[in-house]
Structure 1
């Protein structure tokens, strides 16, 4: 009965949030001045859906599927927000799909990735992989990623890894199993990114997507077939929906990481409170209160508890970091010079605090810092 009550409560909260309609991915060809275009490459363990405007549903497939999607962001876009298309999409005010095509083989996906990298100058040929979380429709993941790519002004090639979430509160167990089943597919995607010739590969995971991500990275670590350490960019784990004890055991496989993981936490995260309840009152990493414990495992903790959220769950605060990318890059540059105290606030974005920044890089390093994931401009 307690579980049912929690589900009803969360469903009511979710009902207040805006979600894309069933035809949110219908192609819009109308051109308007002032829009900004983004090419999103997709690797997916979802089932293809023949219905117009859907593209992928929430069912699982045993192998990877690929796609290329051209997105448009309106000139009226506000940082941190996703302007889903309405019944009559208007590219002057809505994010819209310009073109969407499936790719049938890993070779076609890699070809697209190499072509996008080749358009960047040497020194900026990075890949940014985003792994979404629980209760996420394909269209939601795509639009959220487009928002982050646009807000950050990143030059990295955006690659969306989308696993088979059904996009429903009641499907928590199904989504958990889908995330677990997607580990090998994400490992394959990460290896394709490294094989593309990218100078750096960065990863941002959200919520349950962290379970997929950390497991895939752990598999790579123990596989005997490592990826090039010098090409590993930043690994950002936002609101991780992972049992703290499980997370500790996972990180021990990495010994001392080549670079620390960035772990974004918020102690008022209502979605993680629900996960905590379902898991028998075991704390989730994304709401964990012991920064020193995580720092000792090789993490930099980014505490957003005091940041006002744009969603009712306080679960999507990470997306607001994209617009603060220049400030974050500046802070990381200071850390490389040994000039950042522990627990200091981030100027310009009220309420954020860092812990463990002193381990980011040796204090003798004075070169400019890489971005927090690829959400910051290359310096």
Structure 2
């Protein structure tokens, strides 16, 4: 087969797979009304408040959407509290989407409250959360491709709850189209590449809050493009975000060489960087095809060269999640968050520092 024909065939297969994945995603949750607060309260549920900074435009057509797929020139702020049913009535690691909004809090995720905030109210909400929980560490989550606003909010709430994460959760939501087709993939990639400045703005604001003592970034898939850009900006503004201590790249949809180049540019005073990858990541194999065969960081074999040596030289902590299995290799870290957190705790308990051989996986 002619090389061009093979490329066209690969793109066709990728388009079909992306469409199928999009259709599956659509069947998992209602298309409207998810973020309309429920008036029903159930004692046994867990309430997870998520603070939000977003560059999405406010939604005008669906009050249960809050923020649309369209971009905004200004950062907007909000807070959404997600109610999660008891672990005994749900499968941990999954989102139980309401069949019909606002949903049944006994067995489904529902929105307990949702409010728009201005910048001052957002900052005050961070301070209040620290006082209420006695936690002074925050985690900023950056979602990936094909995420609606409600997707990102509910996924982050699930991640925080199932991981029992002792943090103040903050979501940065960039204007992904929330559709799994080739056109949306190209669009999202372009928008992600333009969203780093806004994430830096949010980071600087959180860093300036005296109640917060430590910041951790967690990015997923294409959201790691946004995060890398923000980190580059941080490096050029030394000291402005001194509380940023950890960065976790989960299934990053970025080129390996691009990542290594960015890591080198960050210099020696950068935060600790952890890479969570799966060698069988189906979504990243499709992305690799779309990128002309360029290896995606989130799907490499970290024991192979040149990956092993480059990661060790840059002192990257590597967590290979391939052995965890599951149906969704691209979201494995969220689906199996308890196992992943155990891996992280064991690694840190061993006292491994950045100067050690970080190219070893944590799968054993």
1:53 aligned onto 2:56: no
Runs of 4+ in 1 over 6 A off after TM superposition: 340-345
- Paired residue for 1:315? 330
Q: 1:333 aligns with which of 345, 349, 354?
A: 349
- 1:78–1:345 CA distance, 2 compared to 1 (3 A): farther
Q: 2:111 aligns with which of 97, 100, 105?
A: 97
- 1:31–1:175 CA distance, 2 compared to 1 (3 A): same
1:207 aligned onto 2:224: no
Answer yes or no: is the 8 Å Cα contact 1:266–1:304 preserved in 2.
Answer: yes
State how far apart, in whole Å, the 1-side matches of 2:125 and 2:311 are: 38
- 1:327–1:208 CA distance, 2 compared to 1 (3 A): closer
1:239 aligned onto 2:228: no
Deviation larger for 320-329 or 232-241:
320-329
Residue 119 of structure 1: SS of its match in structure 2?
A: helix
Structure 1 gap segments, 5+ residues each: 347-351, 354-379
Residue 226 of structure 1: SS of its match in structure 2?
A: coil
In the TM superposition, 1:190-269 aligns within 5 A as 190-197=203-210, 198-224=212-238, 226-228=240-242, 231-269=243-281
**Higher helix proportion:** 2
Answer yes or no: is the 8 Å Cα contact 1:295–1:301 preserved in 2.
Answer: no
- 1:277–1:336 CA distance, 2 compared to 1 (3 A): closer
Report how many aligned residue pairs link the two structures.
340
Q: CA deviation at 1:112?
A: 0.9
State how far apart, in whole Å, the 2-side matches of 1:341 and 1:191 are: 32
Answer yes or no: is the 8 Å Cα contact 2:21–2:180 preserved in 1.
Answer: no
1:279 aligned onto 2:280: no
Q: CA deviation at 1:58?
A: 0.9
Alignment TM-score, normalising by the size of structure 2:
0.87
Answer yes or no: is the 8 Å Cα contact 1:20–1:139 preserved in 2.
Answer: no
- Paired residue for 1:29? 39
User: Over aligned residues, Cα RMSD in angstroms?
Assistant: 2.1
Residue 109 of structure 1: SS of its match in structure 2?
A: helix
Answer yes or no: is the 8 Å Cα contact 1:79–1:323 preserved in 2.
Answer: no
Q: CA deviation at 1:81?
A: 0.9
Q: Alpha-carbon deviations, 1:201-222, whole Å to 9, x = none?
A: 0110000000000110111101
- Paired residue for 1:120? 133
Answer yes or no: is the 8 Å Cα contact 2:93–2:334 preserved in 1.
Answer: yes
- Paired residue for 1:16? 24
State how far apart, in whole Å, the 1-side matches of 2:269 and 2:324 are: 28
- Paired residue for 2:84? 73
Residue 262 of structure 1: SS of its match in structure 2?
A: strand
